Amino acid sequence: MKKIINKPNDVVSEMLMGMVKANPKLVYFKDLEVIASRVKEKKVGLVSGGGSGHEPAHAGYVGKGMLDAAVSGNVFASPSPDRVLKGIQEANTGEGVLLIIKNYSGDIMNFGMAKDLAEMEGIRVEAVVVKDDVAVKDSTYSTGRRGIAGTVFVHKVAGAKAAAGGSLDEVKRVAEKTIANVRSMGMAMTPCILPGVGKAGFTLGENEIEIGMGIHGEPGVERTCVKTAAQLAEILCGKILADYDFAGSECAVMINGLGATPLMELYILNNEVEKILKENNIKIYRTFVGNYMTSLEMAGCSVTLLKLDEELKELLDAPCDTPALKV
- Catalytic sites, residue numbers: 54, 216
The DSSP bridge pattern shows strands 250-257 and 283-290 to be parallel
Q: Which amino acid is at 227?
A: K
Q: For residues 246, 235, 53 and 50, what is the CA-based torsion angle, rounded to 10 degrees?
A: 40
Q: Alpha-carbon distance 159 to 227, whole Å?
A: 37
Task: Find, among 296, 294, 271, the residue nearest to 284 by Cα.
Answer: 271
**SS3 letters for the chain?**
CCCCCCCHHHHHHHHHHHHHHHCCCEEEECCCCEEEECCCCCCCEEEEEEEECCCCCCHHHECECCECEEEEEEECCCCCHHHHHHHHHHHCCCCCEEEEEECCHHHHHHHHHHHHHHHHCCCCEEEEEECCECCCCCECCECCCCCCCHHHHHHHHHHHHHHCCCCHHHHHHHHHHHHHCEEEEEEECCCCECCCCCCECCCCCCCEEEECCCCCCCCCCEEEECCCHHHHHHHHHHHHHHHCCCCCCEEEEEEEECECCCHHHHHHHHHHHHHHHHHCCCEEEEEEEECCCCCCCECEEEEEEEEECHHHHHHHHCCCECCCCEC
287 burial level (CB within 10 Å; 0-12, 13-18, 19+) = middle
